Amino acid sequence: MAYSEKVIDHYNNPRNVGTLNKDSKFVGTGLVGAPECGDVMRLQIEVGADNVITDAKFKTFGCGSAIASSSLATEWLKGKTIDEALTIDNMDIVEELALPPVKIHCSVLAEDAIKSAINDYRVKNGLDAIVLEKSHH
């Protein structure tokens, strides 16, 4: 199977690889997937004033599409408010990276990671976790 140019670009030059301090109250961490399934994504956001995401980092265990999906997600998150970040849909990632049908689950995982990071941040700051619609996988 051939990968799209954008997947290859993110894979070869992943954006925002790294780790934020998960104990900071400004940082939300999402860890999704499972080693048994061959994909684990950890996505972190740092939230500043006015609920704006000032930094985002990821690390991913998975195939090229999983790595590219999470790399792209961190790129999109930076500068967005939390409410804007919640509107990121996995199909936006599928479209941007031209993922084939067998790789759609990678984008779903990235969307889950974003929401899970936001919820972690919310709970840390005394807000209720947002009830997520069960994603389709």
Partner 1 sequence: MKQPIYLDNNATTPLDPRVLEAMLPYFTEKFGNAASRNHAFGWVAEEGVDYAREQVAKLIGCTEKEIIFTSGATEADNLGIKGVFEMYKEKGNHIITAVTEHKAVLDTCKHLEKNGARVTYLGVKEDGLIDLAELEAAMTEETILVSIMYGNNEIGVIQPVKEIAAIAHKFGALFMTDATQAVGKIPVNVIADGIDLMAFTAHKMYGPKGVGALYVRRKNPRVKVTSQMDGGGHERGMRSGTLNVPGIVGLGKACELCRLEMESETIRLSALRDKLESTLSKMEESYVNGNTQHRLPHVANISFKYVEGEGLMMAMSDLAVSSGSACTSASLEPSYVLKSLGLSDDLAHSSIRYGLGRFTTEEEIDQAIAVTQKAVNHLRELSPLWEMFKEGIDLSKIEWAEH
Q: Does 28 bind partner 1 (CB under 8 A)?
A: no
Q: Is 37 designated active site?
A: yes
At its nearest, how many Å lie between partner 1 and the CB of residue 50?
Answer: 29
Contact pick of 10, 56, 60, 115 for partner 1 (by CB under 8 A): 60
Q: Does 90 bind partner 1 (CB under 8 A)?
A: no
Q: Are residues 106 and 99 in contact, defined by beta-carbon separation less than 8 angstroms?
A: yes
Q: Does 80 bind partner 1 (CB under 8 A)?
A: no
Binding part of the chain for partner 1, among 47-55, 61-69, 79-87, 121-129 by CB under 8 A, reads 61-69
Burial of 11 (0-12, 13-18, 19+ CB in 10 A): middle
Minimum CB distance to partner 1 smaller for 52 or for 59: 59
Q: Does 105 bind partner 1 (CB under 8 A)?
A: yes
Q: Does 114 bind partner 1 (CB under 8 A)?
A: no
Q: Does 3 bind partner 1 (CB under 8 A)?
A: yes
Q: Is 106 designated active site?
A: yes
